[in-house]
């Protein structure tokens, strides 16, 4: 049974974060058993966008700092890297405060931008993966995600954070490959996670994000730090703490099909009992069932597809017409005219537009019939 260590941490005060991260890793046997002297270790935080730490969009700099200190104490050389879908890792690191922590500790920040097509013969679904050379050139990865909601994948935690090891310019191709199938995209994320196989994951759930995540949700105090060597088990444990239905989380549903840990009972929790730290009233994103209409009989498909299928919606009041959503749309179905227009007949419901909107002007919306009858 996979082990996940969990420690309480009520604030981002430096001493508290360092103590919680260190104690969690110690429960796993200590950093020396995971990272070896002389290794070059990629530390992979969530650097989704250039936002301040209080926005809860990125991994908090104090959590990253605590992880960097542990790696350096083990005699390894950490580097921090990511590949945002828009902008640069350095820009996001500067705004989030991570760059300052790296400078203080003499740690380099790198862009994961150079493509390597990696053979993945053991992959369940994907036998070849597009991975950043900069990640593969390191001796190992320490994954440092932020616990947040996600419009397409319901939650983004340990597994989803590793999608940042795919060069940003190639992310649209993966979304197009998956189309409207969140299950197919989840299979890719699992194959990528198992291929990269991080030495350690430390998840920042001190303040997470609920609601319209991963870029425009509401910060939510959770007061927790997770640590483990099995990303899937960590996601299962964290989803259980939040009270999520595991079949609503595509990554965990895919894990269940493969016989991987997908429920809290599949995990051995260290440090805290899962029942003792359960979160009440966490606000999840709408369960969108993006391809619900695919189950309809053919003669009903046309008239009811629009009424049942979810879609991204643009709030014209909040929208500043910056055009970022148009630029990041993998299917190229968004245009900027007098307002942002979306061709819903070709939209693949990846919600990249919602994820990258700097004003939170885009949110997932159910079709009118599904809104009228929520149980559909």
User: Do the Cβ atoms of 115 and 132 come closer than 8 Å?
Assistant: yes
DSSP 246: G
Strand pairing partners for 141?
A: 42
50 with 96: CB under 8 angstroms? yes
Half-sphere exposure of 361 (CA within 13 A, CB side): 17
- What would the pLDDT profile of 29-59 be if each residue is shown by its tens digit? 999 999 999 999 999 999 999 999 999 999 9
The CATH architecture that domain 2-276 belongs to is: 3-Layer(aba) Sandwich (3.40)
> What pLDDT score does 176 carry?
73
How many Cβ atoms are within 10 Å of 207's Cβ, its own excluded?
A: 21
Separation CA 27–CA 263 (nearest Å): 21
Q: Is 71 in contact with 43 (CB distance < 8 Å)?
A: yes
Q: What is the pLDDT of residue 172?
A: 75
CA 264/CA 234 separation, integer angstroms: 9
- What is the reported pLDDT for 290? 47
Read off the DSSP letter of residue 363: E
Q: How many CB atoms lie within 10 A of CB 206?
A: 24
Please report the pLDDT score of residue 147 as a whole number. 99
Fold of 290-372: Alpha-Beta Plaits (3.30.70)
- Give CATH 3.30.70.20 domain extents, the chain: 290-372
Q: What is the pLDDT along the chain (376 residues), one digit of tens a residue?
A: 999 999 999 999 999 999 999 999 999 999 999 999 999 999 999 999 999 999 999 999 999 999 999 999 999 999 999 999 889 999 999 999 999 999 999 999 999 999 999 999 999 999 999 999 999 999 999 999 999 999 999 999 999 999 999 998 787 777 777 656 789 999 999 999 999 999 999 999 999 999 999 999 999 999 999 999 999 999 999 999 999 999 999 999 999 999 999 999 999 999 999 999 999 999 999 865 545 444 455 555 455 556 656 789 999 999 999 999 999 998 999 999 999 999 988 998 888 999 899 999 999 887 655 556 555 5
Instruction: In whole angstroms, give the CA distance from residue 136 to residue 165.
Output: 9
CA end-to-end distance (rounded Å), the chain: 36
Q: Go through the chain and tell me how many residues it has.
A: 376
Segments of the chain assigned to CATH 3.40.50? 2-276
**Closest-CA residue to 21 (of 57, 54, 58, 68):** 68
Closest CA to 62 of 206, 217, 199: 206
Q: What angle do CA 205, 210, 215 make, to 5 degrees?
A: 95
pLDDT of residue 293: 46
E strand or H helix that includes residue 284: none
pLDDT at 348: 86
Cβ neighbours, 10 Å, residue 178: 21
């Amino acid at each position: 049974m996979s082990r996940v260590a969990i420690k309480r941490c009520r604030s981002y005060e430096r001493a508290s974060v360092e103590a919680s991260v260190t104690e969690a890793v110690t429960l796993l046997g200590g950093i020396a058993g995971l990272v070896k002297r002389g290794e070059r270790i990629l530390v992979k935080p969530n650097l989704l966008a250039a936002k301040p730490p209080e926005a809860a969009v990125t991994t908090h700099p104090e959590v990253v700092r605590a992880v960097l200190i542990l790696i350096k104490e083990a005699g390894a050389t950490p580097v921090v890297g990511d590949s945002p879908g828009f902008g640069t890792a350095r820009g996001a690191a500067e705004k989030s405060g991570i760059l300052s922590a790296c400078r203080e500790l003499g740690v380099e920040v790198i862009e994961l931008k150079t493509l390597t097509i990696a053979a993945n013969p053991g992959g369940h679904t994907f036998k070849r993966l597009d991975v950043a050379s900069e990640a593969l050139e390191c001796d190992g990865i320490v994954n440092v995600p932020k616990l947040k909601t996600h419009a397409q994948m319901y939650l983004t935690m340990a597994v989803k954070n590793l999608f940042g090891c795919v060069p940003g310019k190639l992310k649209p191709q993966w979304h197009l490959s998956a189309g409207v199938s969140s299950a197919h995209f989840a299979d890719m994320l699992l194959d990528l996670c198992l291929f990269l196989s991080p030495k350690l994951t430390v998840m920042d759930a001190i303040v997470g994000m609920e609601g319209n995540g991963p870029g425009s949700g509401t910060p939510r105090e959770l007061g927790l730090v997770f640590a483990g060597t099995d990303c899937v088990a960590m996601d299962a444990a964290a989803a259980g703490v939040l009270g999520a239905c595991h079949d609503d989380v595509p990554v965990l549903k895919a894990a269940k099909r493969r016989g991987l840990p997908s429920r809290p009972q599949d995990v051995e929790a260290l440090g805290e009992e899962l029942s003792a730290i359960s979160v009440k009233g966490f606000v999840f994103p709408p369960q969108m069932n993006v391809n619900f209409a695919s189950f309809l009989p053919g003669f009903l498909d046309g008239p009811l597809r629009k009424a049942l299928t979810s879609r991204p919606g643009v709030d014209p009041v909040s929208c500043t017409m910056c055009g970022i959503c148009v630029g990041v749309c993998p299917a190229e179905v968004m245009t900027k005219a007098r307002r942002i227009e979306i061709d819903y007949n070709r939209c693949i419901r990846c919600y990249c537009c919602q994820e990258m909107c700097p004003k939170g002007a885009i949110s997932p919306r159910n079709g009118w019939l599904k809104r009228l009858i929520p149980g559909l």
